[in-house]
Amino acid sequence: MSLFRQIWLTVMLSALIAFAGSFVVSIVTAKGYLEQQLFTQSTDSAASLALSMSQQKKDLATSELMVSALFDNGHFSLIRYTDTKGKVIVERINTTPPDKVPEWFVSLFPIVTSPATAQVSDGWMQAGTVTIVAHTRFAYQSLWEGSIKLFAWILAAGCFSGILGSVVIRRIRKPMASVVDQANGICEYRFVTIDEPKTPELRSLAKAMNAMVLRVKAMLQEQAARIQQLRNEVSQDALTSLANKNHFDNRLISALNDDDVPDSGMLLLVRLFDLATTNQQLGRTKTDELIKRVGQKIQSATGAGNNYITARLTGPDFAILLPGTTEQEGMALASQLIKSLEELYRQGFAPQSNVAHLGATIYAHEQTPESLWARTETALAKAKDIGENSAFLEKVAIADSSEAGKDWVKDILDGLKTHRFATASFPVVDIEGHALHQELMLRLKDKDTSQLWAAGTFMPHASRAGLIPQLDLETVRLGISMLEQQHGAVAINIAAESILQPDFCDQLLVLLNQNARLVKQLWFEVNTLGYQSELQALANLSSKIRPLGCKLGIEHFGRHFNSIPMLHEIGLDYLKVDGSFIRNIDQHAGNQNLLKAICVIAKSVGIATIAERVETQSEWLMLKSLGMDGLTGPIVTTRQS
Amino acid sequence: MSFDIKPSGLLANRLLKAGSAIVLILLTVSLAFGFDFDRLQKTLIQKFGASNVRLLQDWKTLLNDTKTVPEPDKLKQINEFFNRKITFSDDQVVWGKADYWATPLEIIGKDAGDCEDFVIAKYFSLKEIGVPIQKLRLTYVRAKIGGPSSTITQAHMVLAYYATPESEPLVLDNLISDIRPASRRPDLAPIFSFNSDGIWAAGSTAPASNSVDRLSRWKDLLLRMQAEGFD
């Protein structure tokens, strides 16, 4: 029983006992008082009657008249006149029961009236005795009415004290509830501070809890900052803050293999002209300045908020990966970039008018990085041949061009209508290899060939048409129907742009509520870019769906170079750490440090960590020693098949 | 809350009355065991000085001696004792009040009393030595002063003794020393008579609940008697 219920019950019970006690005592007292009054009335009447009769003749008629006169005009249940031998001479009895008074009341509180006697004399001689018993009828009525009034009053007082008790309890309850809520929050790794209540006992408790929460928060912030720092150290070029070669290579492998990324795009390679000479002419500091400027130009040319990856590979080499870009878009970006690099000479940062060349090529899934790099080198050589500050695209024949020219938006809308979607599942296991869940990827069945198109193929089109939320909901539906047929859990990817739409969240909640039985088997993971608005939306979503029992996580954690989110403020169950930090983890001390730090902070706020794109057994072993909780990737998929 | 039978007192008042009833029960029970003369004497000395201790002792001796004698002798000796030893005097003179019922101890202490005081003293004395109260009546009489033919009348009280319920009573009066049958007292016209039976519930020697509340003289008297040591 809750504390408040106990307090309330105690208050009500003690009030009840007090009131019931006072009620009974009042009635019993009143009853005693009435009995006494009735006896007094009887005694007085007996004395008066005896006195009157003593003065009169003692014949039967007179005696009868005198007794009747008193009886008929008074309130008596018995008047009896007996002679000296005890023989009854006159007797009058009235047994009318009290009206308007229920019988149970009469039997519960019987009013006992004692008979009163007085002696009648005839001159010096004794004539007899009068016995009088007063009638209880009016006493009962009086007692009954008094009891009703008392009961009404007690009832009113009881209600009032009940209301008063409730108000007082509510006053304590509110701050108490917030303290309890805070304590529960801490159990769930939600660290919130609360307003200090006015009640002194609760205030010191809240103060202590707030202080603890603030300390924990500060500690977590410190750890988050450390992760940020480690992440930058391992994946960024120190000079330009672009990605470094290792990170770019890992991301390129993702782009060429992952299911949920566009299956084609462009790779641009930018090389500063004759950096060795420049270095000699300008000196190291100015050369560094030039490189930094180039980095900025590249960054501003590619813009933010997209999935483009920019990197500085080695001394003079910069690379840009443009997933999902068409040839036209890519070359437009390339020529714009070359133009902006040319300006560096006019602005005096570059020593000669020939600043850089750009080689470009188109890539498609399943191609190797080596072949790509070879093509860009060829393109770069051809660009050099063209002249100062020029770009060249090395074209390749793309094997399957049936998707080109297809009206994807129309096809997606049609697919939604006719439910032409399916899912492919990828197993995710815990660190010991036991199944955790199946990660679902959306597939679109071709209308004609019944070929399955991967998400990466149609998602860019859907994104441009704003159809992502609908596709995400379709995936959820497919996941639920899958759960209806088989055991185990499924994980469903939700795009960051979906959770930003309130409509999507409402529809998702409707779906979850309709399938409450299966909700516990659903894991949702969001690919967040790390913007504040997204994190806010994620926290909102978390507060709505996690209480239902489903799990919520972030996928590709660390991929984007925005700030690491404050994990404890969102309310998450798991993180899937981006494959770019996992690849060759057994040989990369920097990534090991980063993962170790992520594991520590995640554990401290109750979040599980899962590694993406694990390929080798030694990576797995390393992940285990670093404290990761689960993994997914080729090694798991091949092991299962 | 109001109960409209009689003007109601406060709760405290009611409790006080209930308390008096309990005291009365104790009193009534203990009266049957006789008077505590040691305590009576102490009270007497304390209230009235040592001058009448002798009288009290005489009374004690009398009560002891008469316990076993026949009823007519009991009446005679008790009547004589008080008629002889106690001076008749008005309440106004003795107590400074218009009407006051004195206890047996007070009448001895003051060595004086009016007609009610004589009657009360005789009544309790007879009761003490075993005369049933059913045979005794405190009787209000209208007395003609100076003989049966006198036209001057006065309110008076005598103690009447009925050998049987039907018999003619004997009258114990403080005005004349000998006990006479009622028929030989033409100067007295009885108005009303009563005894302790009237204040108790019929058929019981114990008082009914708060029975003497209204008979305040009786209650007053009995309470005072108890305080003095009639227990």
CATH of the domain at A26: 3.30.450
Residue A632 lies in a domain: yes
Query: Is B24's pLDDT higher than 80?
Result: no
Nearest CA in chain B to A31: B3
- Whether residue A494 is found in the same domain as residue A610: yes
CB of A621 within 8 A of CB of A641? Answer: no
A114 to B208: CB separation less than 8 angstroms, yes or no: yes
Within 8 A of B169 by CB-CB distance, chain A residues are 124-125
A350 and A458 both lie in a single domain? no
List domains and CATH numbers for chain B: 11-228 (3.10.620.30)
> Could you tell me if residue A197 is inside a domain?
no
Whether residue A427 is found in the same domain as residue A554? yes
Supply the pLDDT for residue B226.
Answer: 77
Task: Please tell me the distance from the alpha carbon of residue A228 to that of residue A531, in angstroms, as a whole number.
Answer: 15
- Could you tell me if A508 and A538 lie in one domain? yes
Residue B103 reports pLDDT greater than 50 = yes
Residue A338 belongs to domain with CATH number: 3.30.70.270
Residues of B whose CB is below 8 A from A22: none
Residues A383 and A438 in one domain: no
Q: Is residue A249 part of a domain?
A: yes
The SS3 assignment for A444 reads strand
Mutate which of B2, B4, B6, B219 to test chain A, going by most A C-beta atoms within 10 A? Answer: B6
Of A29, A44, A84, the CB nearest to B165: A84
Let me know whether A18 and A143 are in one domain: yes
The set of residues, in sequence order, having a beta carbon less than 8 Å from that of A525 and lying 6+ positions away, is A439, A491, A492, A493, A494, A552, A553, A554, A555, A574, A576
Neighbouring residues of A412: CB distance < 8 A, sequence distance ≥ 6: A444, A458, A461, A462, A465, A467, A471
Show which of A135, A160, A185 is a domain's final residue: A160
Residue A187 lies inside a defined structural domain of this protein: no
Are residues B214 and A40, on separate chains, in Cβ contact within 8 Å?
Answer: yes
Q: Are residues A383 and A432 in the same domain?
A: no
Looking at the structure, tell me whether residues A304 and A331 fall in a common domain. yes
Q: Of A160, A186, A202, which residue sits at a domain end? A: A160
Cβ atoms within 10 Å, residue B224:
15
* A431 and A282 inside one domain: no
Q: Quick one: tokens of A520? A: 């516990």
**Which residue, A144, A160, A176, sits at the end of a domain?**
A160
Cα nearest neighbour of A25 on chain B:
B11
More confident residue, A95 or B19: A95
- Band (pLDDT 50/70/90 cuts) for residue B173 is very high
Q: Find the DSSP H helices in chain B.
A: 11-31, 37-48, 53-65, 71-85, 91-94, 104-110, 115-128, 216-228
Q: CA of B133 to nearest chain A CA: how many angstroms apart?
A: 13
CB contact under 8 A, B160 and A124: yes
Query: Is A495 domain-assigned?
Result: yes
User: Distance from A205 to chain B by nearest Cα, in Å?
Assistant: 49
Query: Do B214 and A138 make contact, defined as CB atoms within 8 angstroms?
Result: no
**Residue A414 and residue A471 share a domain:** yes
Are A96 and B175 contacting, i.e. CB atoms less than 8 angstroms apart? no
What is the interface size between A and B, counted as CB pairs within 8 Å? 110
Tell me whether residues A117 and B197 touch, CB distance under 8 A. yes
Question: A interface mutation test: which of B15, B166, B184, B192 has the most A CBs within 10 A?
Answer: B192
Do residues A182 and B34 make contact, with C-beta atoms less than 8 angstroms apart? no
Q: Do the domain assignments include residue A399? A: no
- Structural tokens at position A317: 């080499």
Residue A205 lies in a domain: no
Cβ pair A121:B192 closer than 8 A: yes
Quote the domain boundaries for residue A472. Answer: 408-640
Give the span between the Cα atoms of A431 and A428, in whole angstroms.
10
Residue B196 has pLDDT above 80, yes or no: no
Asked if the Cβ–Cβ distance from A125 to B166 is below 8 Å, we say: yes
Buried/exposed A6-18: b ≥16 CB within 10 Å, e otherwise: eebeebeeebeee
Question: How much is the mean pLDDT over chain B?
Answer: 78
Q: Which amino acid is at A4?
A: F
Q: Is residue A496 part of a domain?
A: yes
Q: Count of residues for chain B? A: 231
* Beta strands at B180-181 and B188-194: parallel, antiparallel or unpaired: unpaired
Q: Which of B96, B47, B102 is nearest to B221 (CA)?
A: B102
Tell me: do A361 and A455 sit in the same domain: no
**A148/B32 Cα distance (integer angstroms):** 46
* Phi and psi torsions of A167, nearest 5°: -60, -45
Average pLDDT per consecutive 10 residues, chain A (641 residues; last block may be shorter): 79 85 89 85 88 89 91 90 91 84 87 86 89 89 89 87 84 82 81 83 87 87 86 88 91 86 88 87 88 91 84 91 88 91 88 89 88 91 89 75 70 90 92 92 86 84 89 93 90 91 92 89 86 85 90 88 72 90 90 90 89 93 94 87 63
Nearest by CB to residue B198, choosing from A41, A118, A150, is A118
Asked if A378 and A441 sit in the same domain, the reply is no
Q: pLDDT digit string (tens) for B40-54?
A: 999 899 988 888 899
Domain count, chain A: 3
Contacting B with CB below 8 Å, chain A residues are 26, 29-30, 32-41, 43-44, 46-47, 50-51, 54-55, 84-85, 114-119, 121, 123-126, 129, 131, 138-139, 142-143, 146, 149-150
- Residue B149's pLDDT band, with cuts at 50, 70 and 90, is confident
